[in-house]
């Protein structure tokens, strides 16, 4: 590193960058915060202010029976500025934390500008000096100039510009009495869970898939990319039998009765613990409600818990498991961190969480202290584990209970089980903060 005690460059004053700046500042670390607005705006940003909320004004539920509620509780314990401002500027939305977006962003800008040791520089950054401690928090719409620089920093094809992902379900919610595991032609490992459908089930499913409601594309989203990874509903609309000769092909598969099913939906592991399973070939642009309705017509998935719905949208993110440690720092450049959506977390609060953890861990690293990486009984720990160890087909991840270690006890009641996950997460983040961050501010 060039300087010590160092100034930290943070690139991007979005949700993650602002929270990282606050965490560093309160630990006495000087920050230079670079933001390209208002000179240059991404296609979704329209305001000059920091921490702009680009779409829905909801930061999701605060209910402790949800993973996003548990994540917020963990962030409160870790002293999250952004959530404090969100609550101060909230609008009525039941159990969801929804904000007055203009007020929220204005208050965030005010708070960040007030921090004594944070210098703000208004310009686009297109070069990263890996010798200077840096947090890259430029979000899903990182500018083209910086994208090229990041691509060469990663040194391979590890920077993605589009997210076309299939829904992911929780293992315990798959009805295994209506599914079977086996390799095709009886060969290979039983790496897939096969969900068979008979003729009537298949054609009813295709009918609903074709007519289900889709998410409209944004102007800046390139339709050519959609052609490159065809959504399952588009495939269905090309012919009633297209899917059963495509991703639902039953060839080489036999069920427990030794019969070949009419069609088979396959599920593949999404994490090494086998808690999460993705639906193979089901990239989709259906609305979330329609995904739940139509995909629940697959008999083995009739009660499936969807921890993540499929999305098809512009999204700049890196192949994090290849390049990042669990504390969000680069394996090749220990003082360069990635925070927010670009690091492979998905969502407003998840981006805030990663900014908070980058801020804490950059400060600790500069002092020669070990990183703070909570275990996977906590949601933040689960996200950190995901971005550094997910399986080959890395997809950005939101907060959900499937990324956590299973509970020690078996709880049949779904609501009680979720509350137990949340309680354990909150207890353990409190404990681990006490043990590891005691000497910090
Ligand atoms: C269109 C769209 C809609 C979304 N809707 C939702 C939603 O409804 N709910 C949800 O939970 N999540 C949503 N997301 C995903 C994600 O949660 C948000 O994008 C979130 O704002 C990500 O936070 P961030 O801090 O990583 O990036 P951002 O909040 O986007 O902040 C990045 C900042 O970096 C700046 N920047 C970029 N490049 C440079 C550069 N080279 N130099 C200097 N500054 C730069 C940008 O101007 C911006 O201010 C959406 C994403 C997109 C693209």
Burial of 127 (0-12, 13-18, 19+ CB in 10 A): exposed
Q: Which CATH number do you get for residue 255? A: 2.40.30
Pocket mutation for ligand 1, best pick of 140, 148, 395 (most atoms within 8 Å of C-beta): 140
**Which residue's CA is minimally distant from atom 48 of ligand 1?**
14
Give 344 or 227, the one with higher predicted confidence.
344
Q: Is residue 112, in this structure, part of any structural domain at all?
A: yes
Is 392 in the same domain as 270? Answer: no
Q: Give the burial class of 231: count Cβ atoms within 10 A of its Cβ; 0-12 exposed, 13-18 middle, 19 or more buried.
A: buried
What is the pLDDT, as a whole number, of residue 123? 97
Q: Whose CA is nearest to atom 24 of ligand 1?
A: 139
Confidence of residue 274 (pLDDT cuts 50, 70, 90): confident
Pocket test for ligand 1, best of 57, 112, 338, 348 (most atoms within 8 A of CB): 348
208 and 327, same domain (yes or no): no
Is the pLDDT score of 415 beyond 80? Answer: yes
Identify whether residues 144 and 14 lie together within a single domain.
yes
334 with 379, same domain: the answer is yes
Residue 102 lies in a domain: yes
Residue 341 Cα to ligand 1 middle (Å): 7
* Shared-domain flag, residues 292 and 334: no
Show the beta-strand stretches assigned E in 151-211.
159-165, 168-170, 180-181, 192-197
Query: Is the predicted pLDDT of residue 356 greater than 80, yes or no?
Result: yes
Give the Å distances, CA to CA, from 329 to 207, 324, 339.
Answer: 47, 6, 9
Which residue has its alpha carbon closest to ligand 1 atom 3?
A: 55
CA distance 203 to 240: 7
pLDDT digits (tens, 9 = 90+) for 152-197: 999 888 898 888 889 999 999 999 999 998 777 666 667 889 999 9
Model pTM?
A: 0.89
- Do 353 and 385 lie in one domain? The reply is yes
Ligand 1 pocket, CB under 6 A: 11-17, 34-37, 42, 44-45, 54-56, 124-125, 137-143, 146, 218, 314, 340-342, 347-348, 351
Ligand 1 centroid – CA 261 distance (Å)? 44
- More confident position, 93 or 182: 93
- Do 268 and 366 belong to one domain? no
Least confident of 183-192, 271-280, 287-296, 315-324: 183-192
Mean pLDDT estimate for the chain: 92
Atom of ligand 1 nearest to the CA of 123: 43
**Residue 274 belongs to what domain range?**
168-309
Q: In the structure, what pLDDT confidence band is assigned to residue 26 with cuts at 50, 70 and 90?
A: very high
Which position has the higher pLDDT, 74 or 395? Answer: 74
pLDDT above 70: percentage of residues in the chain: 94
> Which residue's CA lies nearest to atom 1 of ligand 1?
44
pLDDT tens, residue by residue, 295-321: 999 999 999 999 999 988 888 999 999
Which of 9, 10, 14, 134 has the most ligand 1 atoms within 8 A of CB, as the residue to mutate?
14
- Which pLDDT band, with edges at 50, 70 and 90, does 254 fall under? confident
Residue 216 pLDDT class (50, 70, 90 cuts): confident
Q: What is the CA radius of gyration of the chain?
A: 22
> What CATH number corresponds to the domain at position 106?
3.50.50.60
Is 108's pLDDT higher than 90?
A: yes
- pLDDT at residue 329 above 60? yes
pLDDT of res. 4: 47
Q: Are residues 272 and 235 in the same domain?
A: yes
Query: What is the atom index within ligand 1 of the atom nearest the CA of 41?
Result: 47
How many angstroms separate the alpha carbon of residue 315 from the centre of ligand 1?
9
Atom of ligand 1 nearest to the CA of 138: 34
Peptide bond into 38 cis (omega under 30): yes
Question: Do 133 and 255 belong to one domain?
Answer: no
Domain assignment present for residue 441? The answer is no
Question: Considering the chain, what percentage of its residues have pLDDT values greater than 90?
Answer: 79
- 286-308 burial, b if ≥16 CB within 10 A, otherwise e? beeebbbebbebbbbbeebbbbb
Q: Are residues 147 and 23 in the same domain?
A: yes
pLDDT at residue 187, as a whole number: 66
> Residue 2 — very low, low, confident or very high, per pLDDT cuts 50/70/90?
very low
Cα–Cα distance between 70 and 420 in angstroms, integer? 10
- Give the mean pLDDT of 200-224: 86
**Is 40 part of any domain?**
yes
Answer whether residue 62 is part of any domain.
yes
Atom of ligand 1 nearest to the CA of 398: 11
Scan for tokens 């997460």, then name that residue: 425
Give how many domains the chain has, as a whole number. Answer: 2
- Say yes or no to pLDDT of 60 above 60: yes
> How much distance in Å is there from the Cα of 339 to the middle of ligand 1?
11
Residue 107's pLDDT is what?
Answer: 98
Taking residues 128-150, report their average pLDDT. Answer: 97
């Amino acid at each position: 590193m060039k300087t010590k005690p160092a100034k930290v460059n943070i690139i991007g004053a979005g949700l993650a960058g602002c929270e990282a700046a606050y965490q560093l500042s309160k630990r006495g670390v000087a920050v230079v915060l670079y933001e390209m607005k208002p000179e240059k705006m991404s296609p979704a940003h329209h305001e000059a202010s920091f921490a702009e909320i680009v779409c829905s004004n909801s930061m999701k539920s605060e209910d402790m029976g949800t993973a996003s509620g548990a994540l917020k509780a963990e962030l409160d314990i870790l002293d999250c500025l952004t959530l404090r401002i969100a609550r101060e500027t909230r609008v009525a939305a039941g159990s969801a934390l929804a904000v007055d977006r203009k007020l929220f962003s204005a208050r965030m800008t005010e708070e960040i500008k007030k921090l004594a040791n944070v210098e703000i520089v208004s310009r686009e950054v297109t070069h990263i000096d890996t010798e200077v401690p840096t947090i890259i928090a430029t979000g899903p719409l990182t500018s083209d100039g910086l994208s090229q620089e990041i691509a060469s920093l990663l040194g391979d094809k590890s920077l993605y510009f589009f997210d076309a992902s299939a829904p992911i379900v929780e293992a315990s919610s798959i009805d295994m009495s209506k599914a079977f595991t086996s390799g095709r032609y009886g060969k290979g490992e039983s790496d897939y869970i096969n969900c068979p459908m008979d003729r009537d089930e298949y054609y009813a499913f295709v009918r609903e898939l074709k007519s289900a409601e889709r998410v409209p594309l944004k102007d800046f989203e390139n339709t050519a990319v959609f052609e490159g990874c065809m959504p399952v509903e588009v495939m269905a609309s090309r012919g009633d039998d297209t899917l059963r000769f495509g991703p639902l092909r039953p060839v080489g598969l036999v069920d427990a009765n030794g019969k070949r099913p009419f069609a088979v939906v396959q599920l593949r592991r999404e994490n090494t613990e086998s808690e999460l399973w993705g639906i193979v070939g089901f990239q989709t642009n259906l609305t979330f409600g329609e995904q739940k309705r139509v995909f629940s017509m697959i008999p083995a998935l009739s009660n499936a818990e969807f921890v993540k719905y499929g999305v098809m949208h512009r999204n700049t993110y890196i192949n994090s498991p290849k390049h990042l440690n669990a504390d969000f720092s680069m394996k090749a450049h220990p003082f360069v961190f990635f925070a927010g959506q670009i690091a492979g977390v998905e969502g407003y609060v998840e981006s805030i969480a990663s900014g908070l953890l980058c801020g804490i861990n950059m400060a600790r690293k500069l002092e020669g202290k070990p990183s703070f990486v909570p275990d996977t009984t906590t949601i933040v720990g689960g996200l950190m584990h995901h971005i550094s160890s997910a399986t080959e087909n890395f997809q950005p991840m939101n907060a959900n209970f499937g990324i956590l270690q299973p509970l020690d006890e078996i709880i049949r009641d779904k609501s009680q089980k979720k509350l137990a996950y949340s309680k354990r997460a909150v207890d353990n983040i409190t404990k681990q903060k006490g043990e590891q961050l005691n000497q910090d501010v």
